[in-house]
Amino acid sequence: MKKDKALALVDPLVLKGICHRGLHNDIYPENSLGAFNNAIIHNLAFELDIHLTLDGYLVVCHDSNLLRATGKDGLIEELTLRKIKEEYQLFDGSEIPTLEEVIDLNQERVPIFIELKSYNHNSTKLALKLKEILKNVKNRKKYVLISFFPKCLFPFKGEGFQRELLVGNDTYYLFSLRHLFEGVDVSLNLFNKASVRRYAKKHFVNCFTVDNESKLEFARKFATTFTFEKIAFDY
């Protein structure tokens, strides 16, 4: 989709940059309500990751295993929401949030980039659960759906949401599917390819992940917007 049409689907705040896993730091863990609230306070869009629990809830965590985030081993898809809430905590003592808790916290004040984490066997179930949660939102421009798995994004075609296909260093082959979605999120290293830079001139391309000033300068030059973390700049 051409850049002007894609921009019509999203809130202009996304052009300021997107906080990777919230505006996290030494006080607020990544993908925590504290990190998301910090982004909201700074009037910044933020990105998060969702997984399906054993009993069909969507929880927010980057990894499929809770070990790195909480220090305790456990696959999200093998745990119930109750068990996750009762037995796993982030480093600040807070709970693993559900997507619905994040949406309630935000109240559509800033855009949320929702990354659908799928493992192929549950792509449809994950997408259908997200559709159920988002069906009654008031402003669809506040929600951008992203994934490395095209099957997760197909069910949202024509629903009024910006859908962006993630293309990483190891998954450049997915760039060939860019025409199927409203935008693409491309790893910063892939902007070395002339095909990516040419496409970004006329289409919506988000650059990830910016974590220093030179990368920030590069992303602002070539991409529509960028996902960042661990860098301070004038928001």
pLDDT of residue 12: 96
Provide CB contacts within 8 A for 179, sequence distance 6+.
Answer: none
For residue 171, give every residue at least 6 positions away whose Cβ sits within 8 Å of its Cβ, in sequence order, or none: 148
When the candidates are 3.20.20.190, 3.40.50.720, 3.40.605.10, 3.40.50.10470, the CATH number that belongs to 3-228 is 3.20.20.190
| Domain layout of the chain by residue ranges | 3-228
Which H, E and C letters describe 138-180, residue by residue? Answer: CCHHHEEEEECCHHHHHHHCCCCCEEEEEECCCCHHHHHHHHH
Rounded to 10 deg, the angle between the 33-41 and 99-106 helix axes is: 20
Burial 51-64 (b: 16+ CB within 10 A, else e): bbbeeebbbbbbee
Q: What is the pLDDT of residue 153?
A: 96
Q: What are phi and psi of 10, to 5 degrees?
A: -125, 160
Rg (CA), the chain: 17
**Is residue 55 classed as helix, strand or coil in its secondary structure?**
coil
Residues of the chain with pLDDT under 50: none
Task: Point out which residues pair with 95 in neighbouring strands.
Answer: 89
Q: How far apart are CA 222 and CA 56, in angstroms?
A: 39
Specify the pLDDT at position 194: 95
Residue 120 has a pLDDT of 63
- In angstroms, rounded to a whole number, what is the distance separating the alpha carbons of residues 44 and 171? 28
| Parallel, antiparallel or unpaired: strands 183-187 and 162-167 | parallel
Measured CA to CA, the distance from residue 85 to residue 94 in angstroms comes to 9
The SS3 call for residue 16 is helix
Q: What is the pLDDT of residue 234?
A: 80
User: Is the CB of residue 94 less than 8 Å from the CB of residue 34?
Assistant: yes
Tokens matching residue 95: 């709970």
Given this model, what pLDDT does residue 119 score? 72
Q: How far from the centroid of its chain's Cα atoms is residue 78's Cα?
A: 23
pLDDT of residue 60: 98
